[in-house]
């Protein structure tokens, strides 16, 4: 998805890469390197969400609303 959005011209691939690096750096500054809560894909998702908001592909309120809907749907399935 991140690559497809870059190829469609919504942002430069380098912008995503830099956002991912920043997201990883942010986690590393708040945790020890042996912290088992590390999740590369969580950092990847955070980078994509931030860039989608920054690129005005979605606004933060709409992203939060849609995320809550998905989470609620998952809870209803259980």
Asked if residues 74 and 29 have their Cβ atoms less than 8 Å apart, the reply is no
- Separation between Cα atoms, residue 34 and residue 52, nearest integer Å: 30
pLDDT (tens digit, 9 = 90+) per residue, 29-72? 999 988 999 999 999 999 999 999 999 999 999 999 998 998 88
The total number of residues shown for the chain amounts to: 78
List the domain range (segments joined by +) for residue 19. Answer: 2-77
Its pTM stands at: 0.83
Q: Which residue is it, tokens 């991912």?
A: 20
Q: What is the domain count for the chain?
A: 1
Closest CA to 47 of 11, 72, 71: 11
């Amino acid at each position: 998805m991140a690559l497809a959005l870059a190829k469609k011209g919504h942002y430069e691939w380098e912008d995503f890469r830099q956002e991912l690096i920043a997201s990883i750096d942010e986690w590393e500054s708040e945790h020890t390197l042996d912290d088992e809560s590390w999740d590369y894909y969580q950092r990847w998702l955070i980078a994509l969400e931030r860039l989608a908001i920054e690129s005005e592909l979605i606004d933060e309120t709409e992203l939060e609303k849609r995320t809550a809907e998905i989470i609620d749907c998952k809870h209803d399935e259980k």
